[in-house]
Amino acid sequence: MRYYSTRNRSEAVGFAGAVLTGLAPDGGLFIPAEIPRYREAVGTSLGTMNFCDIAFETIKPFVHPEIPDPVLEDLIHSAYPFTAPLVEAGDRQVLELFHGPTAAFKDFGARFMARAFSYLRRGEEKPLRILVATSGDTGGAVADGFYGIPGISVTVLYPKGRVSPLQERQIAGLGGNISALAVEGSFDDCQRLVKAAFGDESLKKRLVLSSANSINVARLIPQGVYYAAAAGRAFAGGTHEDGEATPRSRTAEKVPPASGRKGGNFRVVPGQPITFCVPSGNFGNLTAGLYAKKMGAPIKLFIAATNINKTVPDYLHSGSYEPRPSRATISNAMDVGAPSNFERMAAHWSLEEMQKMIRGVSVHDDETRRAIGTVHKSFGYFLDPHGAVGWEGADKLWEQKLLEDGPLAVLATAHPAKFGETVEPLTGTIPMPASLGKVLDRVPQARSIPADISALIEAL
């Protein structure tokens, strides 16, 4: 597979060149020259294949021939001792993406990326420095995924005071080859600083830099796997049993949804493609879903559900793309006013093509809180603030007659226990998964810097 910049299609590089560089030299993002299709035998068997086999078939065409098949199989089995169960929750499904070590969907991309980097850089003497900006879960997943990997160090930038205490422990509590910088600003400031560092020629002469945000295509591609696996399972008429970390109360009331609203019929039906409602911030997750759909996974539609940072929903409605400063919300990982991966989406698809595949909707904090409380009371299921944005977004579109009945899954991108200070006043005590219990004793060690490129360069 060859990759070119979203801003220059005349020069292409291989997979290694794209992922180890991170950001293209012209400031664009690397995208594949084509989105491959599943082999027919794979496309018709997604409902019965195991997760690692689907991962192999999904990732292989994007990394061939630079990662040989036997190596890729080993990388995948090492990265994914966990899966993404599609479980029933009331009148719809939830795709649980928090069964990995940091209880967030970023584990799927970060763990594969760390192993791919290690393989692609075998034999190199000069160490690699990973720079990553995070609004919450990315930093913890990258820190965990790269912790202890020889020859690679990681610096995580996060907005000071805008991540949860547990997220901060995951980002800044490991030490070793992982360091953390608390930026006095927003996630957009963190992202701007990382891009500026990649563009600083004097810094690049001193350090070998790469990225681990969703601007890096190596983190994006593996995220398509759970879409394909869940879509195949649903198309075959199946869901999964609860996993060990599934946040469900066994003693909850079974009452109709509060507020008197009647929801749609979103349960799985054999032979019907599924709609995914994707809580969206930087739009890497949704871009990966679009890749899975184009590869042939049985997906009907996507819902891009944002909080009040609704740059992309506004674009889908008006056709005018207007990035803006981000605003803080309780779904903090989605507080992005200038989503990087929109540039990828726009490079692949026109406005009209996006409008056929995506419905945009925004949800404010009061609606998010209401969804958390209502879903728990009605169905005994705990949502984190980001998943609640997705749940509420689907309901809003259905009420506006912009969404039809049919199989629908809300992506639960992080375990609600990571946001106990927001969720528990609405639901009571959340069951704590074992993966998060291990984090609570960590002491965050981060250096504070102003949102200035000279301060970042000095820290590096």
What is the set of active-site residues?
Answer: 106
Alpha carbon of 276 to those of 84, 94, 288, 334: distances in Å?
14, 9, 12, 17
User: Could you give the CA distance from residue 441 to residue 275 in angstroms, rounded to a whole number?
Assistant: 39
Cβ neighbours for 201, distance < 8 A, ≥ 6 positions apart: none
Alpha carbons within 13 A on the beta-carbon side of 116 = 32
447-450 and 178-184 beta bridge pairing: parallel
Cα first-last separation, the chain: 33
User: Could you give the CA distance from residue 396 to residue 412 in angstroms, rounded to a whole number?
Assistant: 18
User: Could you give the CA distance from residue 375 to residue 121 in angstroms, rounded to a whole number?
Assistant: 46
Of 445, 450, 456, 448, the residue nearest 143 (C-alpha): 445
Q: Is 259 left (phi over 0), alpha (psi -120 to 50) or beta?
A: left
Q: Report DSSP letters for 147-195, one per residue.
A: TT-TTEEEEEEEETT-S-HHHHHHHHS--TTEEEEEEES-HHHHHHHHH
Q: Are 59 and 74 in contact (CB under 8 A)?
A: no
**What token pair was written down for 17?**
């060149």
